[in-house]
Structure 1
């Protein structure tokens, strides 16, 4: 950060934004976005020098923190060597990135198809599953987000799907969510058993021989950090096997340290057929994503052309950033830090907030991947209003904390490099703001 505040640059950034930038998921007359000029570690700042503790990780992707020197250096070194190369060529940075990703995957996953981000990772995983099975349909949950391209957005369950339903062959079902159970469950075990019965009945009713894949976020992220109950993912794997269906696990948000594990599914005794990733693989320093492909599916294309490709697949700057990020995460124990912070600091700290504030209906999460679900009434579990959420956001920002809010939830999602002191600072801010006299919560 410059020692000399330049507030006029914040105003210039806003003026240019209003004049020329078309924002995602927004009515264009509405946004008055926060200006971010720089960052380091878990903090960002604007040109005027206002600093924020980033407990959003931007879009839950800056796992290694802002401006990590090893990743910046890797990008710089690659830029000086070669900034672009066709995906049809062999390139050392691409090979090294794929080797590191495959090393973190289960046995039998040796091949990586690189994309530009998570949406087209899911898009190509769906393509691979359809080609492998010769079937068409894709099953996914209502509480999900898989990206904003053709099949990915229709696989998404939330409202963003509605104006975009142009892709074919998509069916939705309810996943487990005990706090707001669709199955009248009272325990995690009941929720798991009944949710599995539900998905199998959907498979049977849709016609199992028409279904190519079940696509799940290992831990649904934007939908609420919904931790799978005991046996659920294992049960879905068994259903997929029973009917010859591919299981795609979307690790775009949950992967590469977010849960305190390299892949979130490592904690659930399940191995998918296809793994999609993006975000945390290089903390978004350069756009990158991909699909890790199991050997039986990869083998289909030994002699048959894979009908898909991207101009920037395996872009060398992106690949160098992956190598730099994954090497630094390993050597510095960053994934282990995320696990420790979740286990020793966030679990108890957020539970304490729930004890102190009736506004908090439920706390759930692991690693540095948590959500506070906010309710107007704990008995009815009525969600708080949009007005309450807007006030909470404003008050958190005013106190120097950059939050991630979705629906009636505060998602507590700092970088994996967050320190103990930063967690304590954030918990104190959440505590103060949740204790304010807020507008009518209903």
Structure 2
């Protein structure tokens, strides 16, 4: 890309040093960034994006191998989504949620049609954290219980209840917000907390541990269990066969609501409308956001099973949001369904995952001493980097920062210099490009990561 469009609609050439300086100045002077020590960061100014690529003001192109925050499923500036938002803005920009709206109702119907059987109602939120907050509120109000169980390796959002349920270190500064949060160990065969040697053992022992946790906490006190169908930021942990059906059986046995957090994997990331479709289990509440409209306008929600919805037929639901089901966001959501069906997005995700990504990543285990394990599905994979393949010592420590994180910083820097923006977390690199990525782009991006792994290999070689 040699030009970009500024906020006034002018077409300007790249590189543009003056624009870069203005954006940096305004950002560093006035924008307060999340999860960061403000003086320690230097955010990249982005001039434009198209498809699977974005450009900075120096004219450098980056393949977006993280789909921003694993939300840009249909890529940057998809013309159908942009047109849907423009058209909606031209006829009805906003309306309060207590009134009926055509695109809100249409999107709710479309979502219910691809949700598991017996899910007819959708409550819209502004994003994934709120979706999980409100799912928990529904579970608590419908059961009259308080506790909610979640995994140690998890992320459910940064609002008060969602961050209390989160298992990763981002919780540590915030974990007094909800006293009803209880954590347990989920399955993770590569680093099994249950000393399992097979997927079957891992599922069986993880379920036994979960049931023991339920019993020790008191089943009559537990409103819900919330589980990311595939654990996202904390490892792309694909559940072993039988695990999620086993969770469903435990919830049935003890009268507990099963919440499937599909904020990251819903809407095509695994090659399914909802990830739960791949694992033979049915939740009671299903949360979504991100891929429902690729984040073009903030949107999330809860798909509610008929059983839970009936609890609120005569009992008012105690919750609401000013922007619930915002028309601009829902218009982009309706367009997303049209694109998915017209362009066969689910089918191409399964094809690219099975034919391109999986064999490429599995070859790295043999060729790179720093690659301990690869795992994933569709266009959602993790490469776990280690110092020693035998001991499985992580390339960097858990929650590494500063000098301890240097090997991963060096890897990410090498990838970016070669034109790929990777998703890294602790000792892992995740492969999560837009679902519309061209096969040539996908292979090129994987090739860049392959070469950048030489940095990690040097550490592994000692």
Q: Secondary structure at the match of 2:213?
A: helix
Q: Residue by residue, what CA displacement relative to the aligned partner does 1:232-287 show, whole Å, maximum 9, x if unpaired?
A: 00001000000000000000001100001111010111010000000011010000
Aligned-partner Cα distance in 1 for 2:245–2:260: 12
Task: Structure 1: state its 5+ residue gaps.
Answer: none
Whether contact under 8 Å (2:374, 2:381) holds in the other structure is yes
Question: Which residue is 1:261 aligned to?
Answer: 272
Q: Is 1:405 aligned to residue 424 of structure 2?
A: yes
Answer yes or no: is the 8 Å Cα contact 1:371–1:412 preserved in 2: yes
1:21 maps to 31
TM-score (norm 2): 0.94
Q: Is the 8 A contact 2:146 2:180 kept in 1?
A: yes
In the alignment, what sits opposite 1:419?
438
Q: Is the 8 A contact 1:388 1:438 kept in 2?
A: no
Aligned to 1:84, what secondary structure does the other structure show? Answer: coil
Question: In structure 2, do the counterparts of structure 1 residues 357 and 161 end up closer, same or farther at CA, with 3 Å as the change threshold?
Answer: same
Q: How do 1:67-216 and structure 2 match up within 5 A?
A: 67-165=77-175, 166-216=177-227
After the TM superposition, which parts of structure 1 deviate over 6 Å for at least 4 consecutive aligned residues? none
1:33 Cα deviation (Å)? 1.2
Q: Which moved more, 1:425-434 or 1:6-15?
A: 6-15
State the superposition RMSD in angstroms: 1.1
Native 8 Å contact 1:375 1:408 kept in 2: yes
1:249-398 correspondence runs (5 A): 249-385=260-396, 386-398=405-417
Residue 74 (structure 2) aligned to one of 64, 73, 80: 64
What CA deviation, in whole Å up to 9, does each residue of 1:74-133 have, x standing for no partner?
000000011111100000010011111111101110100000000000000000001111
Q: How does 1:2-17 map to 2 (within 5 A)?
A: 2-3=2-3, 4-5=13-14, 6-17=16-27
Q: Is the 8 A contact 1:387 1:439 kept in 2?
A: no
Partner of 1:435: 454
Question: Structure 1 CA distance, aligned partners of 2:17 and 2:167?
Answer: 41
How far residue 67 of structure 1 moved from its aligned partner, in angstroms, is: 0.8
Please give the alpha-carbon distance, in whole angstroms, between the structure 1 residues aligned to 2:346 and 2:125: 24
Which runs of 5 or more structure 2 residues have no equivalent in the other structure?
4-12, 397-404
TM-score (norm 1): 0.98
Q: Which residue of 1 aligns with 2:401?
A: none
Deviations 1:8-47 (A, max 9, x none): 2122211111101111111111111122121111111112
Number of residue-to-residue matches in the alignment: 442
Return the offset for 1:160.
1.0
The answer on 1:40 being equivalent to 2:59 is no
Per the alignment, in what secondary structure is the counterpart of residue 435 of structure 1? helix
SS at match of 2:266: coil
